[in-house]
Amino acid sequence: MSDALHVHHQGAVATLSLNRPELHNAFDAGLIQALTEALEAVGNDPSVRAVVLAGNGASFSAGADLQWMRAMASASQEENRIDALALARLMRTLDELPKPTIARVQGASFGGGVGLVACCDITIAAEGARFGLTESRLGLLPAVISPYVIAAIGPRQARRWFATGEHFEAATALQIGLVHQVVAADALDAAVQAQLALLAKAGPVAAASAKILVREVCAAVGDRDGLDRANAGLIAALRASDEGKEGLSAFLEKRAPSWADRKAP
């Protein structure tokens, strides 16, 4: 594993920490590859029930490393296309990860860092966190991350922030839907742990499938009959599954389900 990324396992939780604090965790090709591979590994690990994405040091992620960007400016269009596809693979891997994900955000979260935030299922930010889709300041646009950011904040908000590149505070990020909760900096870890405790009580398959349900519902707009069939199939499969049977039995018997017997993270 690259020194630019630390992976820590504690119980059923995997924490992936960007580790370029001297560069505010800006990413280059190496970090993109390392994070993609780490996500694929934890996604395929049956012992992992939740994933926390964090950044070491003062910032979550300041987006792309400017030295890397400068080098890519002199590369060919085809080389830039391949490079952009690697970032697209990272974002899609995070967005579709078959585990619940939590972004722990402090300090700066700019450009691609906002993309990482938008791809996570739950985002908790410290009060002093700052955000910005700053690509337009460089004559660029957040094209690769746009599907995830637009899904998080909506097209109306995206049109403003994509065009201006301005910075905004955690309170604004909360208001527009980019983050779910804003807490004092010294309460950030406790807030993350509270969400992990809730996930530990949820059925593992159900919690991991939640994002699939949301994605399919959004994709099926206009096909109500098809959506009804798909959702009926999903709930039927869950009810008939071992997890579904155990969850219902536990509720009726007024006991904790088997998956909640594990020590909470």
Active centre residues (catalytic) = 135
> Whole-angstrom Cα distance, residue 150 to residue 142?
11
> Whole-angstrom Cα distance, residue 28 to residue 25?
9
Residue for token pair 């994709």: 219
* Sequence-separated (6 or more) residues with CB below 8 Å from residue 166: 132
Which one-letter DSSP state was computed for residue 138?
G
> Whole-angstrom Cα distance, residue 208 to residue 99?
5
SS3 content of the chain, % helix, strand, coil (to 5): 55, 15, 30
53 forms beta bridges with 16, 103
- What is the biggest distance separating any 2 CA atoms in the chain, rounded to whole angstroms? 66
* 53-76: b (≥16 Cβ within 10 Å) or e: bbbebebbbbbbbeebeeebeeee
Cβ atoms < 10 Å from Cβ of 137: 13
CB 126 within 8 A of CB 143: no
